[in-house]
Structure 1
Amino acid sequence: MFSKAHYPDILMPEDLDLYLADGWFRWGQSIFTTSFLSFNSQFYRAIWLRVVLSDFNDDKTYKKLSRLNNSFRVEVQKASITPEKEELFQLYKKGITFKVSESLEALLFGTDQKRIYDTHEVCIYDNEKLIACGFFDMGKDSAAGINSFYNHEYKKYSPGKYIIYSKMMYCKNLGLQYFYPGYFAPGYSAFNYKLDIGRTALEYLDTASEQWLHINTFDSVTGSVSEMREKLSNLAEHLNAADIDARLLTYRYFDANLVADFNGYNLFDYPMFIYCLEFVPEIINPVIVYDFRDQHYHLIRNMSVGMADKIEDHSTEYSAHLMKPRQVIFSSDNPEMMANMIASAFRRDVKAESTKLKA
């Protein structure tokens, strides 16, 4: 599965370490992982990051930020939500272009009454004025940065970066092994700032190998959404050449596994696929996906978990059914072989239907 969410009642520090090492992240009082994101109706890969704290030292950026912010007071303590922090968070939201939680309360706790995380905060003060704040969760040997926000009037001091560095230095001094700043999304610049923080000690989770590798080895093409689209478009050309009407569609419900009401359903979660059989609203025909993890095409039969109230035959998006995988019918790393198999099956179906009509 590309996306999952868990809702534990208790989360021990060592359990948080294991989740983080597998590319999971806090969401309210739950925890989730995903390989794909959608911003402004565009798909992006989620690439999970971590800093190896033993390899992280006072780099040039941190030294520069320390000098720039040396007139401010930094405090690290157990996290709490106060009217002052909530006001600062709302002020911060007005100066950004990407979407964040409606409040700190919603960000950290959602609608849950339980408290499963050991959350700390870094606060930066200009005399007695709170100008920046950031939260992070403590595990046994690692910590995860949750968010950072600040007064935009102090932007020239780079308070967002300075808070993250402050979190990392605090964790390093405690002897922790890793700090996880979340993910970045290649092609979506809002998260690129994370790539410049502790760069010499920065690693990313390679989903295919399930290994953490140094960020300098990252390939922005392999495993990307653009590669998936290119592979499927290539297959569509082979299918069209075989007189099979193949359509490359995006899938509206690709992240439905992250919805609490669907917890444990293990729904179909590819962001795009090829639909090459007749579109009949009441029927779910098999679809073809490309999986960058094994570099294979897969013909998948799905079942319907729910049907849209109003079904439209969209030219670029599929939203008729919320789907759950039932069976992988055929797999191949060769688009021509996959197209030939589909074409042969299609011709058999046409011949069978013709024979039935003649009878």
Structure 2
Amino acid sequence: MDALWAAGWRHFGHHFFRYNFGIHAGRVMRVLPLRIDLKRFTFSKSQRRNLRRNTALDITIGQLGVTEESRSLFERHRLRFAEGRPDRLEDFVPATAVASPCETLQLSVRETGRLVAESYFDLGERSASSVFAMFDPAITAAGLGIYTLLKEIEHSLDLGLDHFYLGYAYDGESFYDYKKRFQATEHFDWKGIWREFRNE
């Protein structure tokens, strides 16, 4: 998996893909695969605030296992999207660990026992890759989408990994811009080289 991610590949479910151009808001835009160099990474002040704000939440990280509670959360989450609304959770992650083409972990966030956010990320030998995240849209102040990503990064740091792959963003303004706000981020130039990313 490490070699595939390093060459700009992604996967949703059983489908592996990569593309260097996409269409967003009716415009053709260049795709930027992004990753974090974990050896140089530090959390920003706002990211540390997000982690502190959510310390009362219960976090579990374990083997992939989509539940009915997961699907119910997905149905609420998908309504956030005016464009490109996702259809099924299984389009992003298989229902079970056995069905996954690689090791996939499930990060669940609960508030007083209720599932309020969940994310999925893959593990390689020296890197990890974020796959999909969802949260209850009724809880906006907590920044749960960013929170799950921060906890994935934190787990990758604890494992001593080299890189954390954020996925794709666009070379231009889009709903993926949150991926550009992490320190020590690099982008793939589609010529085999990862270069330092500057969010200007």
TM over 0.5: yes
Alpha-carbon distance in structure 1 between the residues aligned to 2:43 and 2:173: 28
The structure-2 alpha-carbon separation of the partners of 1:77 and 1:206, relative to structure 1 and needing over 3 Å to count, comes to same
Displacement of 1:37 in angstroms is 0.7
For structure 1, list consecutive stretches of 5 or more residues without a partner in the other structure.
Answer: 1-15, 220-359
Displacement of 1:43 in angstroms is 1.0
Tell me the equivalent position of 2:49: 64
Alpha-carbon distance in structure 1 between the residues aligned to 2:85 and 2:60: 24
| Count of residues in Structure 1 that have an aligned counterpart in Structure 2 | 198
Displacement of 1:171 in angstroms is 0.8
Alpha-carbon distance in structure 2 between the residues aligned to 1:163 and 1:115: 20
CA-based RMSD: 1.8
Contact 1:185 1:191 in 2 (8 A): yes
Tell me the equivalent position of 1:164: 149
Alpha-carbon distance in structure 2 between the residues aligned to 1:49 and 1:58: 17
Structure 1 segment 120-199 matched on structure 2, within 5 A: 120-196=105-181, 198=182
Higher percent of residues as helix: 1
Alpha-carbon distance in structure 2 between the residues aligned to 1:187 and 1:202: 16
Displacement of 1:65 in angstroms is 0.5
Q: Does 1:42 align with 2:34?
A: no
Structure 1 segment 217-228 matched on structure 2, within 5 A: none
Displacement of 1:100 in angstroms is 4.3
For structure 2, list consecutive stretches of 5 or more residues without a partner in the other structure.
Answer: none
SS of aligned partner of 2:171: coil
Alpha-carbon distance in structure 1 between the residues aligned to 2:147 and 2:20: 28
Please give the TM-score of this superposition, normalised by the length of structure 1.
Answer: 0.52
Contact 2:108 2:118 in 1 (8 A): yes
Q: Calculate percent identity across the aligned residue pairs.
A: 23
Displacement of 1:101 in angstroms is 3.2
Amino acid at match of 1:102: D
| Greater alpha carbon shift after TM alignment, 83-92 vs 33-42 | 33-42
Please give the TM-score of this superposition, normalised by the length of structure 2.
Answer: 0.92
Displacement of 1:188 in angstroms is 4.1
Contact 1:143 1:179 in 2 (8 A): yes
Tell me the equivalent position of 2:80: 95
- Deviating above 4 A after TM superposition, structure 1's stretches of 4 or more consecutive aligned residues are none
Displacement of 1:71 in angstroms is 1.5
Q: Does 1:17 align with 2:7?
A: no
